[in-house]
A and B are shown apart, each in its own frame.
Chain A
C-alpha cells in the first residue's frame, strides 16, 4: 500500500517552497515536498553547498521560505525524482526514486506541481561540442560551484538573465568574447513604464549588471547571435552574425522565422573556449502531461502549457500547477502562484479559506504577472534558427538524430513531433525529448509552413526521467 498524504508538492524552487510553506501554515497534514536536487531552492534560489562557503540561506526571503519547510511540518524528500504521476480513485499516485529509505510510492489527495523550467534548447551547427552549454549551467557553476566554466566566453541569447550571467562571469575574472542579444534594443520599453514602476529591486539588478559590463568594456550586440561553432574535439571558434529580421522573433508561424539566415550565412569568427546559450526557458510539462490534464499551445511562450482555472487547478480535480512549469513568469509570479495553489488545495481538502486571503494573493499575483508580460514583450523567446541548421546538425542530442534525417521523415509525410519520433527515434532518448521536442516542432513549422502548434506534443511515457531498473520495482508490494 502506498502511503497516503493530503498534499504532495513536486519541486522545491520558489513556487514549491511557497506552496509547501503556505500549506503547512494552513494546517494541511503530511505535506510532502519532493525535489530532485540535494538542496532545496530550485534554480532561482539554488543554494551553494556549505562546504564551498555557502550560507544555507543567503537572503531573508529564502530564509523564510526554507524556515517554512524546516519548521512547519513539511517533509522534504531531497535528491528524489518523481518518475510517474497517475490519477487513481480521486487521488494521485506518485512514483518516486531517491535515496535508500525513500518511499517508492505516495498516494496524495492533492498535488501541486512546481517543476519549473529549463533553458530552451537553441540548436545551431556545432552546438553539441564540449564547451557549448546553457546560460543556466554557466550561472550555476560560477555562482554556486565557484568555478569558471572557461576562460574566454561568448554569451548568446536574449533578455536580462544573460546580463546577470555576464556580471557574475566578469566579477569572477572571465574574459567575455561578447554578449549577443537576438532581439533588437528594447526601444519600446518606455511604453511599459506603468508595469515596471515599483519593481525597484529588479531594475537595480539590471542596472548593476550593465554597469559591471561597461566597466569591463563589454557591450551588448543587439539583433545578433551565434550562427555556428567549430573546433577540434571542443569549441574553439564561434561564428556570430545578425539574428535575422528585426521582428524575426515575433514571427510565430512557420517558414519565415529566420529571414535572411541560411546555412553558411556570413559572419565574424571569434575565438572562444565556451559559449553560453540563454534563449529563454521552456516550461517542464512532462509530469502534468503524463497525469493527463489538458494542455494548450500558448503563442507568447512558444510552448504547450497546462490549462488552469483561476485557482491554478488543472482540468484534473486536485491537481494544481504553480510557477514556470505552467508558463514562464519568473520567480515572483512563482512565489505567489505557489501560495495560491496551496489555498486551492486547502479548499479542495475541505478547509475553510477566508476569501480575503485569496483576494490578497490574487492582487499581488496580478502585479507580478504584469511585469512578467513586459519582459515577454521586450525579450521574446528568440525565434528558432531553423534556417541555420545544416543537414548534419544533430537535433536530438541523445539519439544523435540529425536535421537531415528529420527532413527525410518530413518528406515521408511526418507532420507531428510524435510521427518524427516514431520514424527517426528523435525524442526517445534519455532526456525524453526535452532537448529536441521544441526544435523538431520549429523545423516542421519551417519545412511545412505550418504553425508551431500543429506539430503537437510528444506523448509522455513513464518513467519521465531515466531511473535504474530496480527503481521500477515496488518493494512494498513485491
Chain B
C-alpha cells in the first residue's frame, strides 16, 4: 500500500507498516499507528454516522474522546470512538449511514 498516492497523509509512507482493513466492506489503505478516524479522513470521508433522532450526519468533532460524535462500529461492536481507537490488522469498520436499531447508551472504546 506504500505506493498509494495519498493526498491527505503527510510525509513518506514507505517506512510505515501497511495494514489490511475494511471499511463498509471495501478494503482501504491504513497504517499502523493511525486511529480509525485518521483512516476515514484520509479517505476523504468526513461523515462517520447519522444520528438516531433526526438522522443528521456527524463526524469527528472534539478529537480527544470527550464528545462521542465520531462513533462507528468496529468488529461488530457498536458505538466505538473512532478518534480513540488505533487501527489493527484485519479490523472491520462500519460507518452507520442508517439509524441504528440497537442504540441506547451502550458505549465501547
Contact = CB atoms under 8 A, between A and B. Distances in A.
Most chain B beta carbons < 10 A, residue from A52, A173, A394: A52
Main secondary structure of the interface of B (DSSP, over half): loop
Interface stretch (A144-152, A183-191, A215-223, A240-248): A144-152
Q: Is the interface of A mostly helix, strand, loop or mixed?
A: loop
B102 interface: no
Contacts of B31: 51-52
Nearest to B61: A133
A137 B61 contact: yes
Contacts, number: 132
A317 interface: no
B29 to A, nearest CB: 12
Residue of B17, B83, B86, B105 most packed against chain A (CB within 10 A): B105
A397 B69 contact: yes
Contact of B15 (A53, A138, A398): A53
B65 A128 contact: no
A436 to B, nearest CB: 10
Contacts of B105: 430, 466
B59 A234 contact: yes
Contacts of A138: 63
A274 B60 CA distance: 11
A404 interface: no
Given A147-B38, A149-B41, A468-B107, A400 B53 contact: yes
Contact of B47 (A141, A147, A233): A233
Interface residues of B, number: 45
A429 interface: yes
B34 A147 contact: yes
Interface in B8-65: 8-11, 15-17, 31-35, 37-38, 41-42, 46-48, 51-54, 56-65
B35 A145 contact: yes
B63 A133 contact: yes
A439 B105 CA distance: 23
Interface residues of A, number: 54
A398 B105 CA distance: 11
B57 A53 contact: no
Given A51-B32, A130-B48, A399 B53 contact: yes
Contact of B42 (A118, A147, A399): A147
B106 to A, nearest CB: 7
B10 A49 contact: no
Contacts of B8: 147-148
B66 interface: yes
Q: Which of A141, A399, A468 gathers most chain B CB within 10 Å?
A: A141
Contacts of B108: 468
Contact of A431 (B42, B66, B84, B106): B66
Contact of A130 (B11, B47, B64, B86): B47
Contacts of B47: 130, 233-234
A172 B53 CA distance: 37
B67 interface: yes
26 contacts: A36-B84, A37-B84, A43-B64, A49-B32, A51-B31, A119-B62, A130-B47, A130-B48, A130-B58, A131-B46, A133-B59, A133-B61, A133-B63, A137-B64, A141-B37, A141-B41, A146-B10, A148-B41, A149-B41, A149-B60, A172-B10, A397-B61, A398-B68, A400-B54, A430-B107, A468-B106
Interface of A: 36-38, 43, 48-54, 118-119, 128-134, 136-138, 140-142, 145-151, 172-173, 233-235, 273-274, 394, 397-400, 429-431, 434-435, 466-469
Interface of B: 7-11, 15-17, 31-35, 37-38, 41-42, 46-48, 51-54, 56-69, 83-84, 86, 105-108
Which A-B residue pairs are the 4 nearest by beta carbons? A137-B63, A51-B33, A130-B59, A49-B33
